[in-house]
Homo-oligomer: A and B are copies of this chain.
Amino acid sequence: MLINVPETVVADALRGMAAAHPELTVDVERGIVARRDAPVAGKVALVSGGGSGHEPLHGGFVGPGMLSAACPGAIFTSPVPDQMVRAAAAVDSGAGVLFVVKNYTGDVLNFEMAAELAEDEGIQVAKVLVDDDVAVTDSLYTAGRRGTGGTLFVEKIAGAAAEAGAPLQRVEAIARRVNSRCRSFGVALSACTTPAKGSPTFELPAGELELGVGIHGEPGRERRGMMTSREIADYAVDAVVEDLRPSGPVLALINGMGGTPLLELYGFNAEVQRVLTERGIPVARTLVGNYVTSLDMAGCSVTLCEVDEELLRLWDAPVRTPALRWGR
């Protein structure tokens, strides 16, 4: 691993992020990445966070049109309530703050406590829980479904609504609508290696894959011998589509888990698009890359987000973050 010592991996990364992105304010000690221009007068702020090891999620999604601030925790470990309250206080303009919370028990509890503490400080807070992963319910760290790739859609689309000046209730409603229309399914081709452990966090023999894996390597639906890109696309898209049953166009995220080459992700996208065409599902926009990762895990996930005109317009709205950037 390209690290100094496991204990400083997150702080080191935040220092490196600060150096690369002068448009962000990075508080290394407190663990807060924020828009430099926050608070933005009259606008609702979005704050997210979670364990580190999923980069660019969430810090790479901070900027105009997406998150106002992100709170990175230790590797695969929830940030703490104080961190979230400080982030909320730093970016709240008085219009209120939406917490975007992936459904993992630690994150849920800590964001709940943070919401109470922030309200005690006079900050108006709303919360949205992201639980898009159809693979399993009640996983290793979760009651209910896990939050994975759908988080990107919630943060981008709700962020665009906030940027457009929507009030807190409206931004919250849009975030919930996006989550209710997002479904994901992930596949691991290898385990991931955390700095603290220094070796793979679970056993996945070469030539086998884990269908329905979580973004911390949590077990999925089943383990099988290696499948082709074509077979994996059939399996993953069917799992998503059976649950989502979209009646309109979708946004498609073909996401790498971190260790799979972009060349392979693009090839996998060709197979995903084939399945969607076969199922008669129109694709409005496609995003291919490493966005919601699990350190060096090889593998991929598919997220579909059914959109109406409003959600598509908000998706297309300008965004300026380290990892997602388009428009003006």
Contacts and interface: CB of A to CB of B under 8 A. Distances in A.
Contacts of A13: 263-264, 266-267, 270
A5 B229 CA distance: 9
Interface stretch (A77-85, A122-130, A136-144, A296-304): A296-304
A89 interface: no
A320 B268 CA distance: 24
Given A270-B12, A296-B259, A298-B296, A3 B287 contact: no
A52 B266 CA distance: 12
Contact of A267 (B3, B266, B286): B3
Contact of A295 (B15, B228, B263, B325): B263
Copies of the chain in the assembly: 2
A217 interface: no
A62 to B, nearest CB: 13
A21 B287 CA distance: 9
A9 B267 contact: yes
Contacts of A264: 1-3, 9, 13
Contact of A269 (B16, B56, B295): B16
A20 interface: yes
A73 interface: no
Given A189-B1, A326-B325, A261 B55 contact: yes
A19 B286 contact: yes
A273 interface: yes
A179 interface: no
Contacts of A173: none
A265 B12 CA distance: 10
A232 interface: yes
A13 B263 CA distance: 6
A326 B3 CA distance: 30
A298 B8 CA distance: 20
In the A-B complex, the 9 residue pairs with the closest CB atoms: A16-B269, A12-B267, A16-B266, A16-B270, A15-B270, A55-B262, A13-B266, A2-B264, A20-B286
Given A2-B267, A13-B266, A325-B326, 15 more contacts: A2-B260, A3-B228, A3-B229, A9-B263, A13-B263, A16-B254, A16-B267, A20-B288, A56-B262, A258-B259, A258-B261, A258-B262, A261-B296, A263-B295, A328-B328
22 contacts: A2-B264, A3-B264, A3-B267, A4-B271, A5-B228, A8-B267, A9-B263, A13-B264, A15-B270, A16-B254, A16-B265, A16-B268, A16-B270, A17-B288, A19-B286, A20-B286, A20-B288, A55-B266, A56-B262, A258-B261, A259-B259, A325-B326
